[in-house]
Amino acid sequence: MDYTATQSGFRQQPNMRLRNSSVDGSDGSQLFEDTSGTGPAPQPGYRNQQAGAQAAGFPGQSLLSEPMSNLAMAYGTSLATQGREMVDKNLDRFIPISKLKYYFAVDTVYVGKKLGLLVFPYMHENWEVSYQQDTPVAPRFDVNAPDLYIPAMGFITYVLVAGLALGTQNRFSPELLGVQASSALVWLIMEVLAVLLSLYLVTVNTDLTTIDLLAFSGYKYVGMIVGVVAGLLFGRPAYYLSLLWCCVAIFVFMIRTLRLKLLSEAAAEGRLVRGARNQLRMYLTMTIAAAQPIFMYWLTYHLIR
């Protein structure tokens, strides 16, 4: 009996221990996990290492890709720099882009004085451009210096005034206004090219640049605007009178300005009018000045009826 009880108690003790362990396993401290219904689960450490390896990729790939990308970036930067230098060099042969800031260095006082000089140049005495250490001063400090602000604003204002004149005559259309703007721009470019060709044929040594010629040729828009506005306000006779005044004014302005540029070499040598070359320069100066009134009339006569 005692042996049997001992044996039965020995048999029941594991059952009690298993029962207690099953109860205690609910709090996460179970000794063994039942894996009979599922397959072998991957270990967490191995899964994290595998995901990290896939995310990082092959270690040599980053070592190879970074030098290649840096080389491609450096090569592209060098090509862009060379292309920009080539474009700037070719543009500076005809239009010095780097000097455009000089031609727009104006202020309100300069604009007022310059407009007065363009309309009434007869009393002005000193026409020489001031220099500071072999460099011309900015236009806001010298009324004789050429600028591009007045020609640019004059061109835009001329197009607007032309549109207004066409509108008062019931002839306005965007196409016709575009024709007015494009024709004025084409005539301006042709004029500058013709002057450049004439200077090359006459072999004049001058410090005039393409932008200087563009500025001097663009000053005629001021007189054109005055003539068209006078014609719109007071009729056709006022247009002819105001345009005639502005034509004479721009002729005098161009003669007194360009003779210092085109005849500077001859004046320095003391032979201003002597010699065939000097007379050619004088004729060229008068031709450029006389062309301004012709363009002024040609571009405005059809706007007044």
Inter-residue contact 132 to 197 (CB < 8 Å): no
List, in sequence order, the alpha helices (H) in the chain: 2-24, 44-56, 59-94, 100-103, 108-119, 149-168, 174-202, 210-218, 220-234, 236-262, 264-269, 276-298
* 75 neighbors 68 (Cβ within 8 angstroms): no
pLDDT of residue 19: 43
User: What residues pair up with 136 in beta bridges, in sequence order?
Assistant: 131
CB-CB contact of 227 with 246 (8 Å):
yes
**Whole-number pLDDT of residue 276:** 67
CB atoms within 10 A of CB 261: 20
Q: What is the pLDDT of residues 186-225, one digit of tens each?
A: 999 999 999 999 988 888 778 888 899 999 999 999 999 9
Name the pTM for this structure: 0.68
Using alpha carbons, select from 91, 98, 192, 212 the residue that is nearest to residue 148.
212
74: in domain = no
List the domain range (segments joined by +) for residue 160.
147-301
Residue 30, in any domain of the structure: no
Euclidean distance between CA atoms 156 and 127, whole angstroms? 27
pLDDT for the residue 20: 44
Q: Answer yes or no: is 157 within a domain.
A: yes
| Entry field: residues in the chain | 305
Tokens for 147, please give them. Answer: 């600028």
Q: CA separation (Å) from 184 to 115, 170, 176, 178, 297?
A: 20, 21, 12, 10, 12
Could you tell me if residue 227 is inside a domain?
A: yes
To the nearest 10°, report the CA torsion of 248, 249, 254, 259. Answer: 90
Q: How far is CA 136 from the centre of its chain?
A: 24
Residues with Cβ within 8 Å of 21's Cβ and at least 6 positions away in sequence, in order, are: 30, 31
Does the residue 232 lie in any domain? Answer: yes
Q: How many domains does the chain have?
A: 1
Q: Which residues of the chain have pLDDT under 50?
A: 1-32, 36-39, 41-42, 45-58, 63, 268-273
Q: Which pLDDT value is given to residue 26?
A: 44
**pLDDT given for residue 89 in this prediction:** 63
